Amino acid sequence: MKNYDIDKELKFLKPLRYKKYSPTRRVLINLIFNMSMIFSKPNKHIEMKKYIIKGYQNHKIKIYVLRHKKSIPNKKGLLYLHGGGFQIEGTPVHINMISNIISDSGHTAVYVKYRLAPKYPFPIGLEDCYQTYLWMIKSQNFLNIDQKHISVAGDSAGGNLAVGVALLARDRLGHQLDRMLLFYPVVDQRQITPSMKEFDDTPVWNSVLNKSMWEIYLSHGDFGMLNFTSLLLGDLTRLPKTYIETAEFDCLRDEGIWLAEKLKSLNIEVIERHTKKSVHGYDAVFFSDFIKERIIDRSSFLKGELKHEEN
């Protein structure tokens, strides 16, 4: 295996190298993550409550609503979609990260436990997320948000779902979401970028796992909806202002860069942060200064205060 020059704060992730998620490993990881969510708490300024809503085809799904303990006047919402290769549950790291972002931005966030592959392949997870967006619209008074100011965010596979929801909202409702935040997103089922070819042994995520992910996620076909998940194949016009992060040693790095270039070619404003000496899933090292800087940028973007980096 190659020796990657990873930031010292992220070296905790360096031993996490896998080429396969077996069914047993997947079940065990999801069991642990689900148990850990029972004890998950946001930061002291944010309260979190769990609700059951109707997802795709009226199947019941869980969501978590995170909001400020004190009333916030900005009436803005954030739909957050976790990563995990479309097959792994979210973790308390996501809750911690979301609460830190909205603590400064003032948003009310909704976190979705969408259904996972392989039991629930595409487009079930995406449709669960879209139904949650519809629930936010219907519940805007309860949430104290304005439906015109709902942003969407996601990491890894969650970034893919975030763009998918924005596209469905555009095509089915004529809506444009407020803003879109994508952290090392999954973008293209074709897997043809230079970084996809180069990084087959990187920590946390690699092109071998990525290939398996797409096979599992699309195991029942694409139902004529491939453009809503293999994003570079589709029409990306009329998407909102977008923030994209990538990691240097990540097979998904160039997909994020290509997505940014395509959006900019369509006159969509994109703010990019291409992190150095980093690997996929760096949010797991939530206690690091590296992540604290990322949280500041993400929150600043939601507030409309983040500037483009100078070359």
Q: How far is CA 69 from the centre of its chain?
A: 25
121 and 216 Cβ atoms separated by less than 8 Å: yes
| pLDDT tens sequence across 2-40 | 889 999 999 989 888 888 878 888 888 989 998 888 878
Mean predicted confidence (pLDDT) in 179-202: 98
Residue 249 lies in a domain: yes
Residue 210: both structure tokens together = 């990525």
210-234 b/e with 16+ CB inside 10 Å = b? beebbebbbeeebeebbbbbbbbeb
The total number of structural domains in the chain stands at 1
Residue 309 lies in a domain: no
Mean predicted confidence (pLDDT) in 129-139: 98
Residue 205 lies in a domain: yes
Q: At what angle do helices 23-38 and 92-105 cross, to 10 degrees?
A: 50
The total number of residues written for the chain in this structure:
311
Of the candidates 212, 258, 249, 192, the one whose C-alpha atom is nearest the C-alpha of residue 10 is 249
pLDDT of residue 210 exceeding 80: yes
Q: In the chain, pLDDT over 70 holds for what percent of residues?
A: 99
User: Confidence band (pLDDT; 50, 70, 90) for 311?
Assistant: low
Residue 308 lies in a domain: no
Query: 3-class DSSP state for residue 275?
Result: strand
Residue that the structure tokens 């487009």 belong to: 123
pLDDT of residue 212 exceeding 70: yes
Q: In the chain, pLDDT over 90 holds for what percent of residues?
A: 85
Residue 192: both structure tokens together = 């043809």
pLDDT of residue 129 exceeding 80: yes
Distance CA 96, CA 287 (A): 10
Residue 274 lies in a domain: yes
User: Confidence band (pLDDT; 50, 70, 90) for 73?
Assistant: confident
Within 10 Å of residue 12's Cβ, how many Cβ atoms? 15
Q: What is the pLDDT of residue 105?
A: 94
Residue 256 lies in a domain: yes
Beta-carbon contacts of residue 70 (< 8 Å; ≥ 6 apart): 45
- In this structure, the strands spanning 46-54 and 60-68 are antiparallel
Q: What is the pLDDT of residue 71?
A: 76
Cβ-in-10-Å burial (0-12, 13-18, 19+) of 201 comes to middle
Looking at residue 151, which CATH number applies to its domain?
3.40.50.1820
DSSP string across 231-262: GGGS--TTPPEEEEEEEEE-TTHHHHHHHHHH
Residue 198 lies in a domain: yes
DSSP string across 124-182: HHHHHHHHHHHHHHHTHHHHT--GGGEEEEEETHHHHHHHHHHHHIIIII----SEEEE
User: Confidence band (pLDDT; 50, 70, 90) for 259?
Assistant: very high
Mean predicted confidence (pLDDT) in 255-268: 98
User: Confidence band (pLDDT; 50, 70, 90) for 277?
Assistant: very high
Residue 307 lies in a domain: no
| pLDDT tens sequence across 224-253 | 999 999 999 999 999 999 999 999 999 999
From edge to edge, which strands make up the β-sheet containing 179-183? 46-54, 60-68, 108-113, 77-81, 150-155, 179-183, 241-249, 270-279
Q: What is the pLDDT of residue 44?
A: 84
Average pLDDT score, the chain:
95
Residue 68 domain boundaries: 8-302
Residue that the structure tokens 């979401």 belong to: 177
Distance CA 190, CA 206 (A): 15
